[in-house]
Amino acid sequence: MNRLGTYTGNGVVLTYQIGENAPALSYTGKQSTSATLPSLSAKKMGGYYYWPAGQNNDDPDVCAALIKGNRLLPSLIEKQVAILYGTGPMLYTEKINDDGTVSRHYLKDPEIQAWLESWQAAGVPNSYKEYLRKNIRSYYYSEGIYSQWYLAKGLSIGLKGIKPVAGLRHISELRVRLATTQDIARKKDVEDNDFNFVLVGNWAASSTQQEFKVFPRFNHMSPLAKNGAISYSKNANYESDIYATNVFFEGIKGWIKGCNATPEYINSFLENSLSARHHIIIPNAWYNAKKNSLEELCQLNAKKKAEGAADSELIKIKVGSDEMVVGTEYSELLLDKYVNMELRALTNFLAGRAKNQGKTYATRSFINENGDLESWKIEEIPQKYKEYIEALITYDKRADMVLLSAKGIDPSISNITSDGTISKSGADAYYNYIIYLTQQAIPEDVVCADLNLAIAMNFPEKYASGIRIGFHRPSVQRQEEISPNDRLKNQQQ
């Protein structure tokens, strides 16, 4: 039986403790006492050793679930997706200007565009635009992207003039783990290039190799060696070069959990009165006496059973309207059940205030080992409804500020300020938007890395001339340096 807890019944919620001295509260989860990162090792599944995604191999799922359950983060991430995607993917070349700045020249290439538009006709599950949108979303959730390579039919028999890459398919990071056939379970220094296979499946529900598909990992030295190979592009972490992770997530995980729970706290308080109005102190002497009594009753029942008594003849205990068969063997569960019967009887008493008015809930007093009298105590808990709700709202606002700052999106872009109102400053929005655009080089490089490699393999001459694929974004210019008709605010009218 927990020494400290809550009990709910008949519309009454109470807290209880066993003994006058309240037990010290502690976290149920294991807390790290070291500043060092937890060590991981490869796990074996069938003939493969895979690298787990975190201590419980569920970091991507935990991250996705917490973000999905948050009222701000999904929309913030979608805003980041939309900003990076811009007006869509487009081919470009870059030029270094005389002043040292770099500018993009967007272009149309009919041959490359025809190949991009042919993906689904060639058997690739997604279009190139859908592939890139999924890549962007994966980047903002995990900063890593898995792509499956579909090679052209006829490549293996050496057809001339064929483009080797038919297209790319996005694979969700929730379904992927890197693996190898080498025994690296005890290897101290594990690197990204140790893994040459990829296991794909439902890691939240599956546990055997038969439930996973095994693919070769894409080999940049022999890119056309295996059809269906999977590559992994990422923004590598500081502490590990195997899996990328969301840089903001670990630091604000606690805030996300608290923010997600706030509506539940408020709704529970309003709907179910979960702010208990009574605290019950159960004396240790009573608790120990009942324990001894139940042990003796179990011994008596065991003796009666040995003498041939039927189950219906064994000793039972009745508390209020509840009846419990004691049985022949004592356990802590039996004592828990009995205490719960007493608490249920007490909640019945507290729930019937009108009919119980003027009555007293009777409990026996007990003498403890020191000769002192101990009895049950029912204490009123002061109800501070206003303070409770205001405290939750204050925490919620602080959590919003933490989440917004962690994502690095200015309120003028996110349309959310610290007090939850919408930012309406056009100048702030524009200049912060321009600043934000200058920070998109790394996300775009990771998102488009495999597609640009595919362009290099299919169109080596054009790739050598500097043609790349990226996302169309407005150039970064001061508004006063642009003619009035070409300014952003006039283009949007």
Sign of the dihedral defined by the CA atoms of residues 386, 387, 388, 389, in that order? positive
| pLDDT band, residue 421 (cuts 50/70/90) | very low
Give the residue-averaged pLDDT of 78-91: 91
pLDDT at 422: 45
Rounded CA-CA distance 493/491 in Å is 6
What are 484's two structure tokens? 């009035």
| pLDDT band, residue 31 (cuts 50/70/90) | very low
Our separate counts of H helices and E strands in the chain read 14, 19
Sign of the dihedral defined by the CA atoms of residues 54, 236, 460, 130, in that order? positive
Quick: pLDDT tens for 126-137.
999 999 999 999
Say how many C-beta atoms besides its own lie within 10 A of residue 428's C-beta. Answer: 14
pLDDT at 96 over 70: yes
DSSP letter for each residue of 340-409: HHHHHHHHHHHH-HHHHTT-------EE-TTS-EE--EEEEPP--HHHHHHHHHHHHHHHHHHHHHHHT-
- 279 in Cβ contact with 320 (< 8 Å): no
Sign of the dihedral defined by the CA atoms of residues 402, 407, 411, 415, in that order? negative
Sequence-separated (6 or more) residues with CB below 8 Å from residue 364? 286, 375
More confident residue, 188 or 303: 303
Taking alpha carbons only, the member of 236, 262, 257, 263 closest to residue 403 is 257
pLDDT at 116: 97
pLDDT at 114 over 80: yes
Rounded CA-CA distance 296/290 in Å is 10
pLDDT at 420 over 60: no
pLDDT at 425: 54
pLDDT at 477 over 60: no
Rounded CA-CA distance 180/173 in Å is 18
More confident residue, 88 or 31: 88
- 167 in Cβ contact with 151 (< 8 Å): no
Rounded CA-CA distance 213/377 in Å is 61
What are 451's two structure tokens? 């597609």
Average pLDDT, the chain: 80
Task: Say if residue 56 is exposed, middle or buried (CB neighbours under 10 Å; 0-12, 13-18, 19+).
Answer: exposed
Q: Where in 243-319 does DSSP place strands (E)?
A: 278-282, 316-319
pLDDT at 38: 57
pLDDT at 272 over 60: no
pLDDT at 178: 96
Give the residue-averaged pLDDT of 388-406: 78
Taking alpha carbons only, the member of 492, 372, 380, 377 closest to residue 430 is 492
pLDDT at 337: 87
pLDDT at 283 over 90: no
Distances (CA, A) of 178 to 45, 51, 346, 446: 12, 6, 57, 18
pLDDT at 256: 85
Distances (CA, A) of 238 to 37, 235, 294, 416: 12, 10, 59, 31
Sign of the dihedral defined by the CA atoms of residues 84, 86, 90, 92, in that order? negative
What type of residue sits at position 11?
A: G
More confident residue, 19 or 234: 234
Give the residue-averaged pLDDT of 428-441: 72
Quick: pLDDT tens for 328-348.
888 888 888 888 888 888 777
Give the residue-averaged pLDDT of 325-330: 86
Quick: pLDDT tens for 200-229.
999 988 767 778 999 999 999 999 999 999
pLDDT at 132: 97
pLDDT at 295 over 60: yes
pTM across the whole model: 0.67
Give the residue-averaged pLDDT of 141-152: 94
At 236 the three-state DSSP class reads coil
